[in-house]
Chains A and B, each alone.
Chain A
């Protein structure tokens, strides 16, 4: 009883060992298992084992792979002889995670672990069914040796033109049983043979150490300069993105996320690459600074206003901390702020890379060496290792954010990793300036980071021409008009500029402001649904004062004209009711006479015809009968089967989920050909009896052939109410 022995092993552990287990495999505590038996089931389940294996580094994984190839129970000595002496230190880590556990005979692996590690571990084929005379390998003919040389380090499968007509070298190997045919065109080298030929080792190369980081040294000053410049740039970008959308919100795609056209527009606005713009938007999104409102508009949140008012260090920390924990990878080819950006390993990957960077001070590693080190730390067997591009995304994102500067971990990144205060950022930022220089060509230059309020005011009345630590603003008719539209007067703008500028305001600019202010607002535009005009101004005055027509919301906009918020027909009705004699006017000013003939504004939608059913032809009717007959036969068969099982079983014994799993596993192992009777709950909780031939257990489900339908179905184990052998 394997689960039993695994559970027994867990029972034998002291508290400390359990804590160590939970520390290294935190998924086991969510939710907290009810007892050791359920912990054992969970810890040996495939999803949990996958996570545990993913948390191993390359060397630990190699040792585990070697262990999986040994016959159970095995000893430490056996394991070391197949790997390296230093594997000793790794075994404890594997035992901590209970990927290896000891019983009285020696070490064992949880039963599902081999499935997690997959077929052909370390490029080794299946074991041979019969005992092989490995000594004979030394006497192999030259031709066979050549075949062996080609296959020994894998892949263990080889393609041949026809197994029936092998070449002499292969024929010898097939005869001896060292190689077996898989199908007509494929042969496989047996595991024992390969291990023997590999000199009793499993892996060609033991990756005991994390590969060294190679790179250039960055001196502390330029590292600091580069990182502070990255930090300020990123904060500025974020601010610009959100300010841009505050003025003209982008609209989200139906599927969610930002459309490519809006993204391009933003890319152009920021003057960065598309990848970079996507990333900035994503970071603002995950930090809660921007959101998609119910009308599908993408708008900054109130959080953004709070964020703006904070010192740079806090602003930066807000962005970085959301980036560190998010599972979204903006490098993936999908719309920013949209779905399909999640990768479960994203946060772990970032942490890992930053940890690697942290270990080498002031070194800017080459991308390849950083990728190698990361892949060593996170081998991710399942997917064949972490994709290098994902690692490169993290590298470039860290640089954009200023966690790194010129590729090396920045002082701020280091503080962040240690969870220390980031206030030093505020000190290292270039001092803000509180003035601008206005020049004769209608530009103003802020020769450094501008104070927030002044920057906002200038943003309103001038277009930004160049961005960076300094800002170049240009005053143009359109930008000044924007200021006036926002309620500034010409005099206010001028006064502000005179105060803000260290240099005198050029006369040409003064004139420009004056000219535009003079013209601004001369034309007034408003909404009205209808108008009422009358050459008799006293009648207009009378109507305005008439309480009976108050509901029309009339406003006099000229001596002879009033406007009304209601449409013309309503206005006429109200006026008529109040005793006036209005007449309608068309768009050309021509008097309309007679009542308006009305038409519906919507499309005609005649009702559906409900009538007799269509009569079927003779041949169709015959088909109907045949279908019914067939169905009848099959259900009769089913009910007979069900009756038989009822008689045979009476009511089913109830078993718990753990017991069920145990029973099924044993049944599968011991008498895989016999049928089982189970109780199975459907979606509504109704339990039905089924007779099944179990095939396989995977991911919490049982694959089995149902006798009633003859089909292979998937039964979820928690829904199986009980199991009994027939």
Chain B
């Protein structure tokens, strides 16, 4: 029995002991086929999934390599059944191939006739197929490339896609590395994506996903469509691209509620893409308006359903998804996998923090006690009003006020869900509030003032959850959120993770009402970050008032 860093469990989870001298080597060895599930302090959990194993096959690894790696690093004997299963699952990949055919367009080819017979009899598959060419080959309607991949994956016979990508209209794009250098992991991520053809890159907030996008564009050297969450994010992407690449202002267009420019590089918002006019998505034509060589989906965990549907139809174009958390509260991770592509790059947050590319952060949960009157009101509140009630309790206001005064000389964001609570806080603290109704222009002015240090504190609603680049913000105070959303918590922490000029750490306060569902939701919200190795310290509101933090 070796003394390896890895424990292979019979339920296909792999536990990696990160205090073990071989852990780094082992992590590299298992990364191609195992999905990182959790990365807390001592033992990281990876999982062998069918998707992950097929993904490894796609990247050219075979079952033997996977099995050898498991046996090599395993601390205990590896369950034989698991090895058999790995070999079996991996052998399922590649028995069906999608290929381009000069005569029939797109064809489905097999090395195993029985499998082909099985899948063409499946109800979901049959309508996607054309004529049978011979025993091993059948034509596929070219428009159904995405749909057939989705359906085959569900049947457990994933097709290897050799049909290739269209190059799109060429457009020169280069990275302009003057005064900055692309980081190693960003380059790995961009290359991982490029070799895989399409896929998702997962990087922590503040770790420079935009640059990965820019590097991918420099690989593609083609016209690019970038889909982002909102207008602010669109402008940030534009600024960043101007700064980091050889693109100039005339080459970058914005396609949003206010502007409808289509240029070689076009940045569109999800909002405008999914706007319906007379019951039809009139703006989805944008996908077809140009011979795009690359499509980038920012914050892919928020991708709305209509975009998914459309993405299924553009499988011949390269697709890059970017996100910090591939956790979808709606459980649509599988759709992301089959339509955008498999995860091409993932790295624990703490590892990037250790490299100094994101600011170290401290997470603190501040528990406030409800007053007797509040408790009674909470107990009798209607179930659907309960969370709102305990999340917006008045006691929180005093704590926030105290926290803000404790960090008087730092850049503070107060983040919440409920507008009247935010207005109230804005008034109490005497600071501006940014919410959905704040005009775009005012928002930009306020963010600008915040960046320059003119104002040190902002109260923001969920509009600032993502993609807002506020490099010098060091303190975030969360007063309420979208129930138990894990990704929201991670995104909000992300607002303060940009490395600070003076190397200072960031602090994330979450103010929670004790003994209410607020506390239960908080626990759920913290789960993703806890799994990434952020541990929460719990303090009492009284400690805040006594300055014990």
Contact = CB atoms under 8 A, between A and B. Distances in A.
B162 to A, nearest CB: 33
A357 to B, nearest CB: 16
Interface string A465-488: 011111010000100000000000
Contact of A229 (B13, B41, B78): B78
A466 B43 CA distance: 13
A503 B9 contact: no
Contacts of B76: 229, 430, 448, 469-470
Contact of A430 (B1, B527, B534, B536): B1
B96 to A, nearest CB: 25
A515 B80 contact: no
A447 interface: yes
Interface in A360-396: none
A9 to B, nearest CB: 54
Contact of B11 (A226, A228, A468): A468
Given A229-B78, A405-B80, A511-B538, A470 B15 contact: yes
A550 to B, nearest CB: 40
A472 B45 contact: yes
B13 A440 contact: no
B77 interface: yes
Contacts, number: 104
A440 B79 CA distance: 29
B519 interface: yes
Main secondary structure of the interface of A (DSSP, over half): mixed
Contacts of A507: 535-538
Given A440-B41, A441-B530, A503-B42, A229 B77 contact: yes
Interface string B525-549: 0110011011111100000000000
Main secondary structure of the interface of B (DSSP, over half): mixed
A507 B78 CA distance: 35
Most buried by B among A229, A441, A445, A467: A441
Contacts of B80: 226, 229-230, 399, 405-406
Nearest to B13: A466
A506 B535 CA distance: 8
A636 B264 CA distance: 115
A705 B79 CA distance: 65
Contacts of A399: 80
B79 A447 contact: no
A641 interface: no
Contacts of A440: 40-41, 530, 533-536
Contact of A466 (B9, B41, B42, B78): B9
Interface in B494-549: 515, 519-520, 523, 526-527, 530-531, 533-538
A714 interface: no
A229 B79 contact: yes
A466 B42 CA distance: 16
A441 B535 CA distance: 7
A479 to B, nearest CB: 13
Contacts of A477: 520
A430 B523 CA distance: 36
B81 to A, nearest CB: 8
A401 to B, nearest CB: 13
Given A503-B41, A515-B515, A508 B535 contact: yes
Contact of B40 (A229, A443, A467, A469): A443
A186 to B, nearest CB: 39
A233 B77 CA distance: 11
A637 B104 CA distance: 90
Contacts of B17: 447
A660 B225 CA distance: 101
Contacts of B8: 468-469
A468 B9 contact: yes
Most buried by B among A228, A511, A519: A511
Nearest to B76: A469
Interface string A437-453: 10111110101100000
B69 interface: no
Given A437-B42, A439-B40, A440-B40, A467 B535 contact: no
B97 interface: no
Contacts of A208: none
Nearest to A396: B81
A477 B520 CA distance: 9
A445 B19 CA distance: 14
B38 interface: yes
Interface in A502-525: 503, 506-508, 511-512, 515, 519
A225 interface: yes
Contacts of A469: 7-9, 75-77
Contacts of B531: 441
A506 to B, nearest CB: 6
A515 B519 contact: yes
A605 B40 CA distance: 70
A233 B15 CA distance: 17
A622 B320 CA distance: 96
Contacts of B520: 477
B538 A508 contact: yes
A155 interface: no
A484 to B, nearest CB: 16
B440 to A, nearest CB: 39
A617 B77 CA distance: 87
A468 B10 contact: yes
Nearest to A225: B77
B484 to A, nearest CB: 13
Interface in B37-84: 38, 40-43, 45, 75-80
A271 interface: yes
Contacts of B1: 225, 430
B423 to A, nearest CB: 32
A366 to B, nearest CB: 14
Contact of B527 (A225, A233, A441, A447): A441
A226 B38 CA distance: 28
Nearest to B531: A441
A512 B523 contact: yes
A519 B519 CA distance: 14
B77 A441 contact: no
A590 B40 CA distance: 60
Nearest to B9: A468
Given A430-B76, A512-B523, A447 B15 contact: yes
A189 B365 CA distance: 94
Most buried by A among B8, B519, B526, B535: B535
Interface string A661-681: 000000000000000000000
Most buried by A among B9, B38, B531: B9
Contact of B79 (A443, A468, A508, A515): A468
Contact of B77 (A228, A515, A519): A228
A515 B367 CA distance: 12
Given A439-B42, A503-B42, A511-B538, A467 B77 contact: no
B536 A508 contact: yes
Interface string A493-507: 000000000010011
Most buried by B among A230, A469, A512, A519: A469
A225 B83 CA distance: 13
Interface in A419-470: 430, 437, 439-443, 445, 447-448, 466-470
Interface string A286-304: 0000000000000000000
Given A226-B77, A271-B10, 18 more contacts: A225-B1, A229-B76, A233-B10, A430-B1, A430-B76, A437-B43, A440-B533, A447-B15, A448-B7, A448-B76, A467-B11, A469-B77, A470-B15, A477-B520, A508-B530, A508-B537, A511-B538, A512-B523
Interface of B: 1, 7-11, 13, 15, 17, 38, 40-43, 45, 75-80, 365, 515, 519-520, 523, 526-527, 530-531, 533-538
| Shortest beta-carbon contacts, A-B, top 3 | A468-B9, A440-B535, A441-B530
11 contacts: A271-B10, A440-B40, A440-B536, A447-B7, A466-B9, A466-B11, A466-B45, A472-B45, A508-B535, A508-B536, A511-B538
